[in-house]
Amino acid sequence: MSDKNTMRAIGQDVLGDPGVLKEVERERPVPGPSEVLVRVRAAGVNPTDWKHRATGGFLGRPPFVLGWDVSGVVEAVGVGVTVHASGDEVFGMLPYPFGHGSHAEYVTAPARSFARKPAGLDHTEAGALPLVSLTAWQALVDTADVQPGQRVLIHAAAGGVGHVAVQIAKARGAYVIGTASAGKHDYLRKLGADELIDYRETDFTEAVRDVDVVLDTIGDDNTFRSLRVLRKGGIVVSILPIGPEELYEEAARLGVRAARMLVEADQAGMRAVADLVDRGLLRPTIAGTFPLADAAEAHTLGETGRTVGKLVLVVD
């Protein structure tokens, strides 16, 4: 049991499989200038978590505590903070990648990483949204500027980013095409998808054309192949930020555009997401919940790649 100066967290000392994750005791952080201390009530688990656990990613060598999603309650505010007060229910994404650490009882972050939690979501639902919703919003709205009537192709449409992207694109008035295994098509139709492709049976490059925007959540050859389904001037946005420069050369040759993006902490984006939730246009699907101590189980399930929606750690 942690005292007022310490907290429980899920840490690791080495890189490896989910078994390297351990419950540890850490010093409870103190908010600095322009920061808030948030008592974490729920924190989503994302592919970036298990990739960093296994490879170190942007973070290099452990020890570290993973996690970027947060829904919780402001416990204290640092000097100069005016946008939140103690007791506020908030949700948001810690600055990616170096602001990690939400798989813990408490976390500090810049106050403007957070927005007010929508009243219509519980903490588990709110904790599922930040990273995936900001990724989808920044890709579809900030980068691609999706407009009503445009044709948007979303790869892995039933996944964490994908199922949120479908709802955001529909909220923007787009015609949404998704790739997913056949068993997920009914689910995606209920979210608003207009057309679905079973990637196991059909090559999307033969089934789709004249697309305005492709959201690529898969990377590698999938990004290059997505260029072929765009109309002139269309754009592929990949959420895998690192890859060969030839992508841009091929896009230019075809008269289309390509962008690789990395999600950023963004209070304006979180407010936009909260507005969609409040208007009944966006809601996360929870694939499973786990107590903080069972983070390794969440990683194991997530790495199967078969979940629909989001996995969430619930912090007592």
pLDDT attached to residue 21 = 98
Please give the average per-residue pLDDT across 215-220, as a whole number: 95
**Both 21 and 35 in a single domain?**
yes
Q: What is the pLDDT of residue 316?
A: 84
163 lies in a domain? yes
pLDDT at residue 90 tops 90: yes
Give the pTM: 0.97
Instruction: Read off the tokens for 45.
Output: 């688990």
Answer yes or no: is 206 within a domain: yes
- Amino acid, res. 37: L
125 and 163 part of one domain: no
Q: In this structure, is residue 269 part of a structural domain? A: no
Asked if the model's pLDDT at residue 4 lies above 90, the reply is no
**Structural domain count of the chain:** 2
Is there a single domain that holds both residue 14 and residue 115? yes
Provide the mean pLDDT of the chain: 97
Specify whether 80 is located in the same domain as 157. no
Q: What percent of the chain has pLDDT over 70?
A: 99
**Mean pLDDT of the region 75-89:** 98
Residue 190 predicted with pLDDT over 80: yes
Tell me the mean pLDDT in the region 66-79: 98
Residue 224 lies in a domain: yes
Which CATH number goes with the domain that contains 45?
3.90.180.10
- In tens, the pLDDT along 26-53 reads 999 999 999 999 999 999 999 999 999 9
Task: Note down the domain range covering 83.
Answer: 6-129+284-314
Question: Tens digits of per-residue pLDDT, 126-174?
Answer: 999 999 999 999 999 999 999 999 999 999 999 999 999 999 999 999 9
Task: Report pLDDT digits (tens) over 234-269.
Answer: 999 999 999 999 999 999 999 999 999 999 999 999
pLDDT at 112 over 80: yes
Strand 286-291, strand 211-216: pairing: unpaired
CATH of the domain at 159: 3.40.50.720
Q: Percent of the chain beyond pLDDT 90?
A: 98
20 and 90 housed in the same domain: yes
pLDDT exceeds cutoff 60 at 116: yes
Q: Are residues 32 and 107 in the same domain?
A: yes
With cut-offs at 50, 70 and 90, classify the pLDDT of residue 68: very high
Q: What is the mean pLDDT of residues 91-104?
A: 98
Pair 162, 235 in one domain? yes
Identify the burial level of 114 via C-beta atoms within 10 angstroms of its C-beta, where 0-12 means exposed, 13-18 middle and 19 or more buried. buried
Domain assignment present for 112: yes
Please, what is the Cα angle at 90 between 88 and 91, to 5 degrees? 175
In this predicted structure, the answer to whether residue 1 has a pLDDT above a threshold of 60 is no
Residues 29 and 124 in one domain: yes
The verdict on 65 and 76 lying in the same domain is: yes
Q: Are residues 22 and 47 in the same domain?
A: yes
Give CA–CA dist 134/268, Å, rounded: 10
Query: 99 and 164: one domain?
Result: no
Any domain includes 88: yes
115 pLDDT band, cuts 50/70/90, is very high
- Residue 3 pLDDT: 72
Distance between CA atoms of residues 108 and 270, nearest Å:
17
147/250 same-domain check: yes
The answer to whether residue 205 sits within a structural domain is yes
Question: Is 268 part of a structural domain of the chain?
Answer: no
* Contacting residues for 274 by C-beta, under 8 A, at least 6 apart: 91, 115, 116, 117, 118
pLDDT at 2: 59
